Amino acid sequence: MNAYDEYMKQVVKPMRSELTNAGFKELLTEEDVKEHMASAKGVSLVVINSVCGCAAGLARPAVVAAINELEVKPDHLVTVFAGQDQEATATMRGYFEEVPPSSPSIAIWKDDQLAYFIPREQIESNAMETIKDHISGVLSQIVSS
């Protein structure tokens, strides 16, 4: 591992823990993603995490706040990290090829299909509260349907 890779591993630690501390499972490899997607029943909330400060700095806290306020939560909370866990991210994106890749982004997967997708463009120019309300509103409808 080169010095840059080691540096980036340290830089992203708090960005990873912001989600894992909230109960998200990191899918670090292609195998992790395939195993989750093959076995997960119900609703999976998938966060494609990112280093990008402008959007990711809003996405992570908005997702955590949305999850915390929901009465009925998704069955699975998972995350891949774009730019860090490249194989895992590419594999996850392969499950919803109909949407252009963006990071950060949020996918809601239900019954073996993409139920909803929030791309970076709907995150970066909004207030955290607006993003949280968007996520919790969509999740409330999908989880309870």
Catalytic residues: 52, 54
- For residues 12 and 15, give the distance between their C-alpha atoms in angstroms, rounded to a whole number: 5
Strands 113-118 and 105-110: antiparallel
CB of 102 within 8 A of CB of 90? no
Phi, then psi, of 66 in degrees rounded to 5 = -65, -45
Query: What are the φ and ψ backbone dihedral angles of 111, each rounded to 5 degrees?
Result: 50, 50
